[in-house]
Structure 1
Amino acid sequence: MTPRQIRSLLKVMEVGSVQRAARELYLAPSSISAQIRELSAELGVTLLEPAGRGIIPSAAAQQLQPSFRSFLALSEEISQQASSIAHEPGGTLKLFAPSSMCIYRLPALINALQASAPQVEVMLEHEPFDHLEAFRCGELDAAILVSQVESDEWINNRLHAEDVIFVCHPSRYQADAITLEQLNQQPLITTEAGCSYRVAAEVHFRSQGLTLKPRQSFSNVEVIRRCLLANMGIGLLPRCAVEDDLAKGTLKHQAVAGTPYPFFSTLVYPRGRSCPPKLQALIEVCRTGCTT
């Protein structure tokens, strides 16, 4: 069983045609077919079945698909590790981060990584993206997560404190801390339902016998920031999203009793998985360039 055979099969399963797979992989259709026949014979299962004038993956191929992906990811990792033994870290670093981290934290990290490991290319995914499934399939090297607790499921490399605060236009600002009851009288703008920032606020409201009722909710923190600059309400955001605005005075941190909500960002990868040189290069950048 070879990476080339697996790569050919997965491409056929993706595009639904040997001819199209051959074009995308720059191989002859006969070569693709031969590789899949050899793989099928070695495994003792049918991998592709006829369907009308075309072909479809067999039930066995569908069941084995996650393992095929893991096999291919591991072979690529081994190749990159072998190359890095004699050369500087290189290859594609597949990374997931939520939108707030993509916008406000990652540019500085990627810039530092380019300086220390110029042969590493970052391929970034953000919401909506199932990073847990990608980890299981071996299609992701690491993720930057924002949470209030660390999970034993991951190797954790903490990056920054990420306090989540209420923010408003200067014309709405009140110098004294306000209560949740007073906050509820304002038009509130939050992240979408299920977002950890909003969940923390909902727990806080419930602890006071209240219900968080946002006037608006958005999945993108930059949209919320723009709404606050337009004086549309009081917003719930990680401090990193508005640090420049707070420094300039174009937005104000509205103190609210019981806040800020303490979060932190962490670079994680699955426990038990090896750390390739390209990921180790990013970890070193995080350790030298970030404070918790």
Structure 2
Amino acid sequence: MELTYLRTFHEVAKSGSFTRAAENLGYAQSSITTQIQRLEESYGAVLFERFGRSMRLTLAGESLLPYAKEMIRLHEESKEVVSRQTKGTLTIGTIETLTAYYLPPYLQKYRERFPDVSIMIQPANEPFIIESVKDGTLDVGIILDPPFADPELHTQVLREEELVIIASPEHRFNQLSKVKAGDMNGETLILTEDGCTYRAMLLKALRSSQIDCKPSYEFGNLEAIKQCVMYGLGIALLPRIAVADDIDKKKIIGLPFVHPEFRFYTQLIYSKKKWQSKAFVGFMDLFEAE
């Protein structure tokens, strides 16, 4: 029973709210409150304190959290070992671009091999994905970054991704075969959301070259960015895989962005502590050919 309480404790810590934890776990809020109270009685310490509208871990709660995560992980591992079944849920964190334009054929193959495994995709930016893989919230992360390394994670480079500057077909860039930082002087930029690694690298490159470029729009949605570019509202930097179809249909033009620091790769990451179930290994096997 205490393992159930630890799961509830972990969910409250993650969501910062008894109400949200109840919704996520499918419990009544009163049940969440009771479970936390019993856990506090068991440990003889207060685990949460109210901070504004949210619940915050006390020092005792922060001390318990890593143990709770490890006990939950070990319980899942033990179930896999005992049952030897390929069932359960595989949680994958990745960015919108890779969710829409890279992963689908792999997910189709995986479903054919492991029909009983549920797949949950968590769209997010790279910093969130990396931290979530480290703390075990995500089983796997697939990121689009310069070469990445972390002592807590295994990293597998899958392939290099070309980044292109997109513009409307009537834009002056239609006379170029590639774009350098200097070519962008005076242009209006349409940016992806904050936290996007290639956005950060682009802005850094423009600043270091002292380019006067005006960021005027920011969207967390690729289609919104592409539509604004089609209407001539500015230019944008996106992975070619996200715009290849629109370029082929001549809705936009796409030119390689040439800069010595711009080498981006699709990379698969997972924790070195990760229990490698059959379902997990099966997912890794899909990318061996890459």
Same fold (TM over 0.5): yes
Deviation at 1:133, TM superposition (A): 4.2
The alignment partner of 2:147 has SS state of coil
Aligned residues: 274
Aligned to 1:238: 239
Contact 1:9/1:36 (CA < 8 Å) preserved in 2? no
Letter in 1 for 2:123: H
Inter-partner Cα distance in structure 2 for 1:49 and 1:109: 41
Inter-partner Cα distance in structure 2 for 1:156 and 1:255: 26
| TM-aligned CA distance change 1:46 to 1:228, over 3 Å | same
Contact 2:163/2:256 (CA < 8 Å) preserved in 1? no
Q: Deviations over 1:132-181 (max 9, x none)?
A: 44334422211111111120332112223211110122222224445533
Task: Choose which of 138, 150, 156 in structure 2 pairs with 1:152.
Answer: 150
Inter-partner Cα distance in structure 2 for 1:61 and 1:255: 50
Report which of the two structures shows the higher radius of gyration computed on alpha carbons. 1
Residue 74 of structure 1 pairs with residue 71 of structure 2? no
Inter-partner Cα distance in structure 2 for 1:200 and 1:273: 31
Inter-partner Cα distance in structure 2 for 1:182 and 1:48: 56
Contact 1:163/1:260 (CA < 8 Å) preserved in 2? no
After TM superposition, the structure 1 = structure 2 runs for residues 245-264 of structure 1, keeping only pairs within 5 Å, are 245-258=246-259, 261-264=262-265
| TM-aligned CA distance change 1:212 to 1:76, over 3 Å | farther
| TM-aligned CA distance change 1:100 to 1:260, over 3 Å | farther
Deviation at 1:228, TM superposition (A): 1.9
The alignment partner of 1:205 has SS state of helix
Task: Choose which of 84, 88, 93 in structure 2 pairs with 1:91.
Answer: 88
Aligned to 2:217: 216
Aligned to 1:121: 118
| TM-aligned CA distance change 1:244 to 1:34, over 3 Å | closer
Unmatched segments (≥5 aa) in structure 1? none
Deviation at 1:218, TM superposition (A): 2.1
After TM superposition, the structure 1 = structure 2 runs for residues 188-203 of structure 1, keeping only pairs within 5 Å, are 188-203=189-204
The alignment partner of 1:242 has SS state of helix
Deviates more, 1:114-123 or 1:180-189: 180-189
Deviation at 1:40, TM superposition (A): 4.7
Inter-partner Cα distance in structure 1 for 2:81 and 2:26: 26
| TM-aligned CA distance change 1:12 to 1:284, over 3 Å | closer
The alignment partner of 1:261 has SS state of coil
Deviation at 1:274, TM superposition (A): 3.0
Contact 1:157/1:266 (CA < 8 Å) preserved in 2? yes
Task: Choose which of 18, 23, 36 in structure 1 pairs with 2:38.
Answer: 36
Inter-partner Cα distance in structure 1 for 2:95 and 2:41: 40
Deviation at 1:284, TM superposition (A): 0.9
Deviation at 1:272, TM superposition (A): 3.7
Deviation at 1:264, TM superposition (A): 0.8
Contact 2:187/2:214 (CA < 8 Å) preserved in 1? no
| TM-aligned CA distance change 1:182 to 1:125, over 3 Å | same
| TM-aligned CA distance change 1:215 to 1:278, over 3 Å | same
Deviation at 1:268, TM superposition (A): 0.5
Task: Let me know the Cα RMSD of the aligned residues.
Answer: 3.6
Identity of aligned residues (%): 23
Deviation at 1:238, TM superposition (A): 0.8
After TM superposition, the structure 1 = structure 2 runs for residues 142-181 of structure 1, keeping only pairs within 5 Å, are 142-153=140-151, 154-172=153-171, 173-181=174-182
Deviation at 1:187, TM superposition (A): 2.2
Residue 64 of structure 1 pairs with residue 64 of structure 2? yes
Letter in 2 for 1:225: K
| TM-aligned CA distance change 1:216 to 1:280, over 3 Å | same
The alignment partner of 1:130 has SS state of helix
Aligned to 1:267: 268
| TM-aligned CA distance change 1:163 to 1:260, over 3 Å | farther
The alignment partner of 2:214 has SS state of coil
Inter-partner Cα distance in structure 1 for 2:259 and 2:62: 50
Deviates more, 1:121-130 or 1:145-154: 121-130
Letter in 1 for 2:142: I
